[in-house]
Amino acid sequence: MSNGIANFIQWVMTMPTDNDARTATYSPGLDGVLAGETALCHVDEGEGGLRYRGYAVSDLAGRARFEEVAYLLFFGKLPTRSELQDFTTQFAAGCMLPGPVEAFLGVVPPGAHPMDILRTSVSLLGMADPDASDCSHDANLRKAIRLMGQIPLVIATAYRLINGKAPVRPQADLSFAENILYLLTDRRDGETTKAMAQVLDVSLTLYAEHEFNASTFSARVTASTMTDMHSAITSAIGTLKGPLHGGANEAVAEMFCEIETAERAEQWVRESLAKKQRIMGFGHRVLKKGDSRSAIIQQHAESLGRICYDHRWYEIAATIDRVVQQEKGLYPNLDFYTAVAYLLMGIPRELYTPVFVCSRITGWCAHVIEQQDHNRLIRPRALYTGPAAREYLPFDLRS
């Protein structure tokens, strides 16, 4: 029996009952608490790093296409050539938006938050899905594959309409990452575009899954009620919108744009540290010793800067990274150098978190499927901190 399973069993055996909830150990924010089991992802600060179903993410990123990683998360194994072809065919068939969703996107107010648009669109997609009320394993897989294709379309269509541009359709000869780049930036041809799509593909793989983070846990709690897939994903999107969970790469890009030049970076970051201001893109709730994904995307961001003949963003990032490690002992997380890559690609900053959803939808859906395949309603206890027992008094006896 693995240490993880043994620890989980021990935790379950000591879970509080109705009579001893007050004596249970309390961990604010559920920090370090084992809240369930998963075969999808192992977050390890040691030599192995992050693993998806046993595969090191460092082996997957840049070697396996994102579509292969999605298949791995959904089906539990890497696909053969024919299985990948069948998967991409099924995925392509679902790359369309129902009429009610298209109509909604056509009347979205210009100032609407992209994550609000996406959240509401997914809820609408749930009403129109042919498997809406079916929570079986096979139906959930079909819904997951459709959502994987529909979410980039929702993001791109809404953005283009709000900005007075005509919507475009995904292209059959483009990969998932290439289509996202095309939908959001109109980039399609050329060696530079190909390099951008390859780095975007790597970032999608790195963002695909990360165990029981806030949005994933939100999805699993919702799914544990045996509601539908779209309700669980709507919960996840709403959770990711919160600035303590999502939006870090947008904030990092905003910081880089404020600094403007590499020459200003060191003074800017030292002044910010002196004022005790938070430097975005550093630290991680679980990965205290550094995020192994950061080194992967850093290498690709630096390479992309050379290909684009634009070193500014990487040089700003590298300077901030050096100073923060020296002064605070903090390491960059995945969002930090991803912001460099997305700036080079020309992806609109307000869409960085929705692009994250294009990737994490695979992990979310895989967790919903796993939860409902072996379901138990998630219902923890709370440590009561209110008044002791009090007697009800009629109005005329109250002081």
- Which of the residues are catalytic? 284, 335
Give the Cα separation of 241 and 239 in Å (integer): 5
With beta carbons less than 8 A apart as the criterion, state whether 218 and 239 touch.
Answer: yes
The two structure tokens encoding residue 131: 């498997």
Rg (CA), the chain: 23
- Which residue in this structure is represented by tokens 């460092």? 58
Give the Cα separation of 377 and 232 in Å (integer): 14
The torsion angles phi and psi of 230, rounded to 5 degrees, stand at: -65, -35
With beta carbons less than 8 A apart as the criterion, state whether 218 and 235 touch.
Answer: yes
- Adjacent-strand bridge partners of 52: 41, 55
Alpha helices in the chain (DSSP H): 3-13, 57-60, 66-75, 81-93, 99-105, 114-128, 137-162, 176-185, 191-207, 214-223, 229-240, 248-259, 262-274, 292-307, 312-328, 334-345, 352-373
Closest to 237 measured CA to CA, from 365, 384, 108? 365
- Adjacent-strand bridge partners of 61: 64
**Residue 51 host element (H or E):** strand 51-52
Give the Cα separation of 173 and 325 in Å (integer): 43
Give the Cα separation of 36 and 281 in Å (integer): 28
Closest to 75 measured CA to CA, from 57, 52, 98? 52
